[in-house]
DNA sequence: CTCACGTGCAACCAAGAGGTTGCATTTACG
DNA sequence: CGTAAATGCAACCTCTTGGTTGCACGTGAG
């Protein structure tokens, strides 16, 4: 039930569930690859806090890093967002089917299929 | 910078960032509206824990509740997922544009636009 | 070479998350 | 009416989060 895929999904969503991290993602998605220090400049928290957030984002594989001289640049990995979309689509689809089942069972009592229970 | 919309987005993602809550969502998305007790049956945690998770999901407006006799049924509100998709699309689009800018500025120095900095 | 800058690591702290148990309350159903 | 089921509320506990400060280490610019 709680296999590795679902755990990875939860990790991704967890990484997205913080305003500071969302702001970090917005920054590197609009301005390109940035260092932890650069990201901390416009932020209201310290550089070390940003570094921690970057580690969370990286463990969720939403960003990657690359050593560039004496600084470390963090960049987006947008391909991971497809997994998130897949989850959303799956849930929505299941929900639509559940609604459809409910609707048909209400509008049309249909004793044949009803007798299955 | 950190306005109400971004806070709401973070709340949605936070609500999705827990394996138990993801499992709850899967359950009510496949089996339809369920009560907290019913959701707790197949789970490895207590009914009260499920109730807390349901409150988190409800504050993020991902689910809604309806009193049905002596029990309370929780159902999905899939329209909220559109907001999530909107965020993902926005970030991906910005990232694509950032990549495009980077690529063009590398392949073609273009002193005219470069002189803007 | 020097030194300031960017980074990483560690200790620490307050607050919140996630979970439990226990009890009170409501309510459908024999 | 009586009772068992479903819920709500509160207290409590432990572990994690998000944040800080301080310091040590590498490395690039002048």
Give the integer Cα–Cα distance in Å for B61 and A71. Answer: 41
* Residues of chain A found within 8 Å of residue B31, distances taken between Cβ atoms: 98
Tell me the helix, strand and coil percentages in chain B, rounded to 5. Answer: 70, 10, 20
* Residues of chain A found within 8 Å of residue B94, distances taken between Cβ atoms: 26, 29-30
Give the integer Cα–Cα distance in Å for A47 and A34. Answer: 13
Say if residues B95 and A78 touch (Cβ distance below 8 Å).
yes
* Residues of chain B found within 8 Å of residue A62, distances taken between Cβ atoms: none
Between A47-59 and A4-16, two packed helices, what is the crossing angle to 10 degrees? 150
Is the Cβ pair A78, B98 closer than 8 Å?
A: no
Give the integer Cα–Cα distance in Å for A23 and A50. Answer: 10
Nucleotides of D under 7 A from a protein CB: 5-10, 17-22, 26-29
Residue indicated by tokens 């306005």: B3
Q: Which of B14, B81, B94 lies nearest to residue A29, judging by beta carbons? A: B94
Is the Cβ pair B78, A94 closer than 8 Å?
A: no
Q: Which of B78, B92, B101 lies nearest to residue A92, judging by beta carbons? A: B78
* Residues of chain A found within 8 Å of residue B85, distances taken between Cβ atoms: 85, 88
Is the pTM higher than 0.85? yes
pLDDT in tens, B36-60: 999 999 899 999 999 999 999 999 9
pLDDT score recorded for residue A107? 55
Give the integer Cα–Cα distance in Å for A54 and B80. Answer: 27
3-state secondary structure of A78: helix
3-state secondary structure of B21: helix
Residue A96: pLDDT over 60: yes
Residues 22-81 of A with CB under 7 A from strand C: 35-38, 47-48, 51, 70-72
Q: How many CB atoms lie within 10 A of CB A80?
A: 15
Give chain A's mean pLDDT. Answer: 87
**Which own/partner pairs from A39-42 qualify as long-range (CB within 8 Å, at least 24 positions apart)?**
A39/A74
DSSP one-letter code for B78: G
DSSP one-letter code for A5: H
Q: How many CB atoms lie within 10 A of CB B39?
A: 22
Residue A64: pLDDT over 50: yes
pLDDT score recorded for residue A103? 74
Q: Average the pLDDT over A85-99 and give the result.
A: 86
Burial A36-72 (b: 16+ CB within 10 A, else e): bebbbeebeeeeeebbebbebbeebebbebeeeeeeb
pLDDT score recorded for residue B106? 52
Is the Cβ pair A10, B18 closer than 8 Å?
A: yes
Give the integer Cα–Cα distance in Å for B52 and A71. Answer: 43
Give the nearest chain A residue to B10 (CA atoms). A17
Is the Cβ pair A22, B6 closer than 8 Å?
A: yes
pLDDT score recorded for residue B84? 85
Say if residues A38 and A27 touch (Cβ distance below 8 Å).
no
- Entry field: residues in chain B: 117
Give the nearest chain A residue to B93 (CA atoms). A29
């Amino acid at each position: 039930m709680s296999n590795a895929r679902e755990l990875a999904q939860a990790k991704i969503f967890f990484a997205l569930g913080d305003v500071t991290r969302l702001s970090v993602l917005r920054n590197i998605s609009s301005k390109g690859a940035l260092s932890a220090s650069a990201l901390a400049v416009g932020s209201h928290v310290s550089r070390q806090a940003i570094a921690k957030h970057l580690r969370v984002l990286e463990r969720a594989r939403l960003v990657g890093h690359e050593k560039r001289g004496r600084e470390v640049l963090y960049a987006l990995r947008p391909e991971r967002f497809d997994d998130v979309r897949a989850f959303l689509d799956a849930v929505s689809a299941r929900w639509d089917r559940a609604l459809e089942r409910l609707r048909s069972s209400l509008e049309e009592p249909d004793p044949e299929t009803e007798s299955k229970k």
